Structure 1
């Protein structure tokens, strides 16, 4: 199974500019009901380069390290580099391995330099579960 096979089931893309605050990112994740946002250089414009991911775990780490004052800090200060991404032709097994190796749960999907989605560990687990149920039902 490939990443492109499950992108249709993933929630809409939520992006944030790297110069926006941790507070804005947290509120955006909450309002959008997602566990991570794609970080673009400077603005949310779809033409801006993808430079990282910012997740709920990152929000917790910022508060643990900096207290509530960390909420006013810029998202760019907390994204890891280099960008870990995949493309829609990658297998789910390869992306699952990539996530494990880097200790992450969300990966942006970039095809030909264009952001086309985000795949999460939950998406992969759900896809495996659905495939198993389909085989058992047949």
Structure 2
């Protein structure tokens, strides 16, 4: 099974924050969306929306210990993980899981030709495993070639 199959089963919207947003703004967004990581985008007129990094709860907790409450007013760009580990829609689920395990991460941006097309998370893989156990999805099922996933 490929990562693109998981993307097709998810909500199309990827929750993102700009590099200039404060950490407090990012935390509010995470709470409102009930998520534990945000894609960070750098919006530049010459380059369009580009993936600048990822900000996770883990990043925030570690920074809180080191910097205290002052981190809330910092821009996300100072705290995010730059050059995050990514995968492609054509990658196998196994490869994505191996990347997550190897790098100790729970969120994996999915890039196609350098463009962000989605994010897969540990929760997505748990949901897939539950569906396989319930028999509602086959572990080797491949989606139809004509289907498209959210951009």
1:80 shift after superposition: 2.6
Match of 2:20 in 1: 19
Distance in 1, Cα, partners of 2:131 & 2:123 = 12
Distance in 1, Cα, partners of 2:67 & 2:101 = 27
1:25, 1:75 within 8 Å by CA — same for their partners in 2? yes
Which digits, 9 at most, give the CA deviation of each residue in 1:49-105, with x for residues without a partner?
Answer: 102111122221221211111111111122233321111111111011101111110
Match of 1:9 in 2: 9
TM-score, L = length of structure 1: 0.87
Match of 2:144 in 1: none
Match of 1:98 in 2: 99
TM-score, L = length of structure 2: 0.80
Aligned length: 134
Match of 1:37 in 2: 38
Unpaired runs of 5+ residues, structure 1, are none
Distance in 1, Cα, partners of 2:103 & 2:79 = 15
Deviates more, 1:3-12 or 1:89-98: 3-12
Match of 1:120 in 2: 121
Distance in 1, Cα, partners of 2:17 & 2:94 = 28
Which structure: greater helix fraction? Answer: 1
Unpaired runs of 5+ residues, structure 2, are 137-151
Distance in 2, Cα, partners of 1:6 & 1:92 = 9
RMSD: 2.0
Distance in 2, Cα, partners of 1:8 & 1:67 = 40
